[in-house]
Amino acid sequence: MFGGSSKKAYICSLIEGNMKIGFDAKRLFNNFTGLGNYSRTMIDILTTYVPEHQYLLYSPKIIENHVTMPYLGNTSCRTIIPSGMMRGSLWRTYGMASALSHDEVDLFHGLSNEIPVGLERQHIPSVVTIHDVAFHTFPDMYRWHDRMIYDRKWKYACRHANHIIAISESTKADILRFYKVPEEKISVVYQPVNRAYYESKAELSQFDKLMTSQQGMKGVGERCPNELKPADGKPYMLYVGSINSRKNLMGIVKAMELLPADLQIPLTIVGEGKEYKHEVEQYIAEHHLEHLFQWTTAIDSTSLKRLYANATLFLYPSFYEGFGLPVVEALLSGCPVLTSNTSSLPEAGGPSSLKVDPKNVEEIRDGIVTILTNDALRNQMIEKGRQYAIKTFHPETLARKVEEIYNKVK
């Protein structure tokens, strides 16, 4: 239906609402990791907790699969792709404003660091979510050309959007540092978490029911029992995330190498990478540590939650994060967390996570030893960590904060 030759916009049935709100939904329909996950969970919480508005999803193309189909069938949404001569990234940057005006959109939200050119000429107020400025803080991870493009897009969005959502206080500080916008123009609204991580608790049991009624989905309420264990039932530690130099997997590997033999339980690694992954694998092979590491790539949210729930410890000593979503996922799953004392990670981990200097391998090692050898501390970290995560990252709280920003801007 959404092939390259299509000249029609796919339109879902539309409910009446107070505002028509347009979204840049390219990542929602075409990206299945970080920015795509943010886009989908943001639409999830808005259509669930603020269903009175009309949500228009604009994308230059759409991949149809089990992840995107619920949004094509969401009765709160209307999904639009270009029908004229201008297509792809060119339409997304220079043609979307006209489409928004044609659809009489009241407000636009750029979900992934940028907004289309021309919204001011169309008199359409806008909000942009800025996730991080890693291309400034870790420039070696990016090609020069890409850094220039990102900086230009971020700068345009920060200057021309009516309001900026930063996904953490750390990201807000980075925006102020690099783009010199007035502080009152920025609000912090933490990143929403996939509904699967709330499924086991009664206080959020209504979430799936609301999602089902709003989206017409089947099987949304399927549970992931916490008692499910890995096949061999043996303890393991867990890392989830991209495998690149910023995430500091090498620091974890070197810390585990320093552990006493009786504490060297294996680490399950969920993530993908290229050059840096090869560098880590080479170090592991050269030091004969293969027995300590189990690798896997993309898995579904239910399986991932099971891994979190049954892990002895979650390790995430990253050098820099705009938010640190895996830390929150681990806390909500009842897994104690060791993370960094830098960037946004103290916000994500809260007071009950153990925070270390990611540059200090011995400190990472000592943190692992402390948690693995102190059951009382570990149990306290599990209970208080989950309480913190539920209170701080409750989806309804986040949806209401976004709604307040929309009302202020409109």
DSSP 218-234: SSTT----TT---TT--
Residue 79: partners with Cβ closer than 8 Å, 6 or more residues away: 9, 10, 11, 12, 25, 56, 57, 59, 62, 71, 72
pLDDT digits (tens, 9 = 90+) for 270-318: 999 999 999 999 999 999 999 999 998 767 888 899 899 999 999 999 9
Q: Poorest-confidence range of 66-75, 117-126, 324-333?
A: 66-75
Alpha-carbon Rg for the chain, nearest whole angstrom, is 22
Write the single-letter amino acid at 187: S
Q: How confident is the model at residue 378 (pLDDT cuts 50, 70, 90)?
A: very high
Burial class (CB in 10 A: 0-12, 13-18, 19+), 52: exposed
Question: What ranges do the domains of the chain cover?
Answer: 20-218+395-409, 237-392
Query: What is the rounded average pLDDT of the residues 78-85?
Result: 85
Q: For position 199, what pLDDT does the model report?
A: 67
Q: Is the CATH code 3.40.50.2000 the one for domain 237-392?
A: yes
Backbone angles phi, psi at 80, to 5 degrees: -130, 135
| Mean pLDDT rounded to a whole number for the chain | 88
pLDDT band at 18 (very low <50, low <70, confident <90, very high): confident
Q: What is the pLDDT of residue 73?
A: 85
pLDDT for residue 214 is more than 80: no
pLDDT band at 200 (very low <50, low <70, confident <90, very high): low
CATH architecture, domain 20-218+395-409 = 3-Layer(aba) Sandwich (3.40)
Q: Which of 81-90, 158-167, 179-188, 225-234 has the lowest mean pLDDT?
A: 225-234
- Structure tokens that stand for 75 in this block: 């009765």
More confident residue, 99 or 195: 99
User: Is the confidence at residue 16, as pLDDT, over 50?
Assistant: no
Q: Are 370 and 377 spatial neighbours (Cβ–Cβ below 8 Å)?
A: yes
Residue pair 336/314 in contact (Cβ under 8 Å)? The answer is yes
Cβ-in-10-Å burial (0-12, 13-18, 19+) of 390 comes to middle
Average pLDDT over residues 167-179: 97
Distances (CA, A) of 42 to 26, 48, 49: 14, 10, 11
pLDDT attached to residue 33: 85
Above 80 in pLDDT, residue 260?
Answer: yes
pLDDT value, residue 377: 97
Least confident of 61-75, 115-129, 231-245, 251-265: 231-245
Share of the chain above pLDDT 70, in %: 87
On the question of pLDDT at 2 being above 60, the answer is no
Tell me: pLDDT of 37 over 70.
yes
Same fold, 20-218+395-409 and 237-392: yes
Q: State the pTM of this model.
A: 0.86
Report which secondary-structure segment, H or E, holds 170. Answer: helix 169-179
Distance CA 242, CA 318 (A): 11
